Amino acid sequence: TIGKPIKCKAAVCWGAGEPLKIEDVEVAPPRAHEVRIHILYTGICHTDEYTRSGKDPEGLFPVILGHEGGGIVESVGEGVTNVAVGDHVIPLYTAECRECKFCKSGKTNLCGKVRSTQGKGLMPDETSRFSINGKPIHHFMGTSTFSQYTVVADVSVVAVNKQAPLEKVCLLGCGITTAWGAVVKQSGIKDSSVAVFGCGAIGLGVINTAALVGATRIIAIDTNPGKESWAKKFGATDFVNPLELKGGQKIQDYLVEITDGGLDFTFDCTGNVQVMRAALEACHKGWGVSTVIGVAAAGQEISTRPFQLVTGRTWRGTAFGGVKGRTEIPGLVDDYLKGTVKIDEYVTHSRNLSDINEGFHDMQGGDCIRCVVNM
Ligand code: NAD
Ligand code: AHE
Ligand code: ZN
């Protein structure tokens, strides 16, 4: 049977730097190996704002942004076996096909199956399922969760326990999972010292997971003094505001001083390349490992003295925390239901789709960890 197009509301960004506009969009039925999802809730991540602002070199317009969603499968195309109509699902911006060189390597969560068309804002057959008066609108990150209905590749979606509230577990679509994976997939964090630069949802998730795996000292760093209480609530043992250091001391020098030579592990959760450098240089000589999670604007580059690496520090990065979504997210949902993974604590704001631009303003306000949009 051939499905019908659905007319629904979606937040469309028509051009770089423009606010989102609620539009009536037509969502074509899923083709072979595609899934159409009724999105009920979506978080707003800093990466959505990054692409909206025009700083993303991969940004394309007009586009339906959003990559932290939760919904219910409305229909499936030919050949779809991993999800069924009625399943509660989370769309995955990092696909998992289990067949490509990347998936089979056992070395990475990055999947090669749909990444190139995803980067072009298209489905794997190089066309879009979204249109307004016949004019195609780009997909985003293979997910486009700022639409009441979206179409994703079957490799880009996972079914989860129906007992879990979608208004909460939608956040596993990006922020919380990224932070969790960035910590649990690195060995040696137990009994070690950790510094986390940036206490948004990502930084708080890293702090919380580091505490969970048994890091002994967790130093949170943020230029917003209001983040101190948040960081401590999530498990930080110390908080430093780099703007308050005496004599304009550099944050990395201060951290090396107070930790007897530097941290075992550091994380950039800001996307600022100066901060990435500070995070690397705050690492202990001989073994410190710094992980870049933040996403930097087009044209930005990182630098440090190569001597920092020659003397045993490691600079690395992670996408989606190294998590394989289809394999690992169902377990994270169960951990949430058991109470071992926090989600509710991150939700500070909620908005209706019609007020999604307010949600973007919330995010910039400094007192927002995550805003969840009711679609
Ligand atoms: P956020 O804006 O909520 O949090 C960033 C925090 O950094 C804020 O608390 C801010 O006050 C702080 N900050 C800003 N400048 C600072 C500085 N110079 N020193 C210390 N702290 C500073 O953002 P978020 O949603 O938590 O996302 C954080 C970053 O992670 C973004 O760049 C986002 O795009 C990226 N991200 C990456 C992945 C990935 O897979 N690699 C996944 C999700 C998000
Ligand atoms: N398009 C940007 C890069 C954006 C980026 O790094 N995205 C992260 C996820 S951020 C989620 O909030 C990611 O997964 N990257 C790996 C990938 O394959 O995109 C640019 O600079 O071009
Ligand atoms: Zn994100």
pLDDT the model gives residue 373: 98
**Model pTM score:** 0.97
47 within a domain of the structure (yes/no): yes
pLDDT the model gives residue 188: 97
199 assigned to active site: no
31 within a domain of the structure (yes/no): yes
Q: Whose CA is closest to 237, among 192, 268, 285, 287?
A: 192
Q: Which residue has the tokens 């925390």?
A: 321
Q: Are residues 265 and 282 in the same domain?
A: yes
Q: Residue 68 maps to which CATH number?
A: 3.90.180.10
Give me the tens of pLDDT residue by residue for the chain, a chain 375 residues long: 578 999 999 999 999 999 999 999 999 999 999 999 999 999 999 999 999 999 999 999 999 999 999 999 999 999 999 999 999 999 999 999 999 999 999 999 999 999 999 999 999 999 999 999 999 999 999 999 999 999 999 999 999 999 999 999 999 999 999 999 999 999 999 999 999 999 999 999 999 999 999 999 999 999 999 999 999 999 999 999 999 999 999 999 999 999 999 999 999 999 999 999 999 999 999 999 999 999 999 999 999 999 999 999 999 999 999 999 999 999 999 999 999 999 999 999 999 999 999 999 999 889 999 999 999
User: Which segments of 282-324 does DSSP mark as H helices, in order?
Assistant: 307-310
Q: Are residues 131 and 98 in the same domain?
A: yes
| CA 176 to ligand 1 center in whole angstroms | 13
Q: Are residues 137 and 208 in the same domain?
A: no
Q: Residue 229 maps to which CATH number?
A: 3.40.50.720
1 within a domain of the structure (yes/no): no
pLDDT the model gives residue 1: 55
107 within a domain of the structure (yes/no): yes
Q: Are residues 229 and 291 in the same domain?
A: yes
Q: Are residues 42 and 137 in the same domain?
A: yes
Q: Are residues 227 and 128 in the same domain?
A: no
* Average pLDDT along the chain: 97
Instruction: Give tens-digit pLDDT for 119-157.
Output: 999 999 999 999 999 999 999 999 999 999 999 999 999
Domain span at residue 267 reads 186-317
DSSP conformation class of 362: H
Select from 317, 346, 362 the last residue of a domain: 317
115 assigned to active site: yes
Taking the CA of residue 338 as centre, how many other CA atoms within 13 Å lie in the half-sphere pointing to its CB? 8
Q: Are residues 292 and 349 in the same domain?
A: no
269 assigned to active site: no
Which of 8, 31, 42, 45 is catalytic? The answer is: 45
pLDDT the model gives residue 240: 98
As for the ipTM of the complex, it is 0.98
Q: Are residues 201 and 161 in the same domain?
A: no
pLDDT the model gives residue 151: 98
154 within a domain of the structure (yes/no): yes
Pairing of strands 289-292, 265-268: parallel
Closest ligand 1 atom to Cα of 204: 26
Starting from the CA of residue 365, give the closest ligand: 1
Rounded to an integer, what distance in angstroms lies between the CA atom of residue 47 and that of residue 65?
10
pLDDT the model gives residue 50: 96
181 within a domain of the structure (yes/no): no
User: From atom 11 of ligand 2, which residue's Cα is the shortest distance away?
Assistant: 47
Q: Are residues 202 and 342 in the same domain?
A: no
